[in-house]
Amino acid sequence: MKQAHHPDLDEIGLVGVMGALSDPIRMGLVRVLADGRERGWGELRAPVAKSTLSHHLRVLRDAGVTRTRQEGTRCFVELRRHDLETRFPGLLDAVLQAACDDDVGAHVGVAADRDVG
């Protein structure tokens, strides 16, 4: 697998970030990642096919919302909270609060430890 591109801080744009966050699945992924933990892709659970989940994760990465790291055959993803806060102070917290209030993305979660493999 080739190395994934992650936009530099000054390349992260508001329109791209808001577009990436406009989908309920992607918003759910961000809600899951908001705990600050890096997650393996296999831990993430969403009501979509694996290929569709991969697409959503790529959209978030390309917008600068997440960072992906490969270790052997496994891929890990984390929220770029610090970068987003630096670029757009208060935006992520406001969006996360609104998503929680409106229950957007609540159908996305993390697999139980025994389910991860």
Q: What is the pTM of this model?
A: 0.91
Place of tokens 């992650």: 6
Map residue 30 onto helix, strand or coil. Answer: helix
Q: At what angle do helices 24-33 and 91-102 cross, to 10 degrees?
A: 110
Predicted confidence (pLDDT) per residue in 21-70, tens digit = 999 999 999 999 999 999 999 999 999 999 999 999 999 999 999 999 99
- Taking the C-alpha atoms of residue 95 and residue 53, their distance in angstroms, rounded to an integer, is 21
